[in-house]
Amino acid sequence: MKLHCFGESGNAYKAAITLTLAEQDWEPVYVDFFNGATRGDDFRALNEMGEVPVLEDGDLVLTQSGVIQDYISSKSGKLGGTSAAQRREVLRWMFFDNHKLSGIAGMLRFQMNFLPEDKRNADVIAFNAGRLGASLKVLDGALAQRTWLAGEDVTIADLACCGYLYYPEPFTFERTDYPNVDRWLDAMSALPGWKHPYDLMPGSPADRS
């Protein structure tokens, strides 16, 4: 399988770490996002949404991280839960992540680090920081009662919700403010085969500095 991705993308990381921990045979295809690669006709022919990640498995092309994670889980028989009830819990946390966690963290991190300074809006940043903090409190509270989000073992729910939380750039998230999230992130990074986003996918801010 080929995963079109770049290191700075937390959404691409969700797909990459799922492929890795599900022990699938895959290779990254670097997408030069910061030089406009996702806006080109060739990429838009692959994904009209103009986003990474994109997974190619033979003739099958999939977009959106949650869909890719679901496909990998179904194909491998790993990381997806063992019952219908657990499957619903996995989906519940993945939907929460898309709307309330990664959807905010990714935008906030981009605004604070990758937008030119003269285009950064302090009011927008403050508003999104408040929203992210509220979502992180929900996540931290849930993890006070369990080791993993959706069962007795790691699932794609965990690999979705952690998508942006390993990145070093400042986006108002401090692990020490959320002790249960901190413990959970340590547990994931201790899993065999785990890698940091910048080690798992090509591309990082250091490459452009």
The residues spanned by each domain of the chain are: 2-77+195-208, 84-189
H or E stretch including 182? helix 179-189
Helix runs in 22-155, H state only: 41-46, 65-76, 84-96, 102-113, 122-143
CA 12, CA 20: separation in Å to the nearest integer?
12
CATH class of 2-77+195-208: alpha beta
pTM above 0.85, yes or no: yes
Instruction: Spell out the CATH class of 84-189.
Output: mainly alpha
Per-residue pLDDT tens over the stretch 7-59 = 999 999 999 999 999 999 999 999 999 999 999 999 999 999 999 999 999 99
Whether 208 has a pLDDT exceeding 90, the answer reads no
